[in-house]
Amino acid sequence: MRRPGFLAHLLVSAKRHWSNYLTEAAGLFLFLFMASLITTTVHYPGSWLARQLAGQQVLGRALIGLVAGLTVVVIVYSPWGKRSGAHLNPAVTLAFWQLGKIKPADACWYLLAQVVGALLAGQALLALLGRYFTHPKVNYALTLPGPQGTAIAFGAEFSITFGMVAVLLLALHTKRLQNLAGWLLGALLAFYIVVETPYSGMSLNPARSLGSAVAAHNYTALWLYLVAPPLAAWLAAVLFQLLFRNSPLSGSIVAGPGAGSPGTEPPQHPVE
């Protein structure tokens, strides 16, 4: 009997798991909206907060990191985040695909949903915040290489993404940490925003960088953010496979459609 082609798998998966894909798009939209909103508030010269933080760049980044990190935590542990797994990042989805935790068809839909969510967030911010969002001090919340250059920015993006995925996988592999994975990710994100932003703008996420770039019509070094995070995430997943072969992964972030036959199994819900 002839097996259905990949297009058929895509269609069946879309019919069965469309709500998971919608959740991914909405989750990344919410994260980018909140992160960009606090970024605009901190950096727009006319805001009260910007005046209070004048000359205190590290403190400003810490505040942005706090809001962004808490937003991730809220999304991950929300009922909707638990349903889809709240990957929120094509690099994370790629890592779970490499580990066999998400089917190829579902992974494709997740990637599309994440890109759509990021693009919509960029346009919504542009429409709602207008001149505040486009001001040179805010600059559409673009991720751009720092004065150290593109090579350093690439290395920085690769390193922080590898570290994030490694921490995530080790947490999901360790029973005591499984249900804390979202908190660990939020804390790590906040830390990265404080210490890494001067080198690359701290993306970690190709969809996030794409959304800002399209809103700004500025594609400077975008390739860097489309290549470094996915490559690092994939490598972290491969090394995890080599070191922890056949090891189980559980927790909120492994929710969503499983790796069985496309469109035939119910979503895998997290271990509480």
Average pLDDT value over all residues in the chain = 89
Q: Rounded CA gap, 137 and 134, in Å? A: 8
Query: Which of 77-91, 189-203, 209-223 is least confident?
Result: 77-91
Q: Rounded CA gap, 213 and 149, in Å? A: 18
| pLDDT tens per residue, range 213-262 | 999 999 999 999 999 999 999 999 999 999 987 666 655 455 556 554 33
| pLDDT tens per residue, range 157-193 | 999 999 999 999 999 988 899 889 999 999 999 999 9
Domain 18-254 fold: Glycerol uptake facilitator protein (1.20.1080)
Can you give the pTM of this predicted structure? Answer: 0.88
Please state the separation of Cα 123 from the chain's center in Å.
18
- CA dihedral 209→45→30→119, nearest 10 degrees, is -40
Q: What are phi and psi of 147, to 5 degrees?
A: -65, -15
CA distances, 62 to each of 30, 85, 238 (Å): 20, 26, 32
| pLDDT tens per residue, range 125-134 | 999 999 999 9
Residue ranges of domains in the chain: 18-254
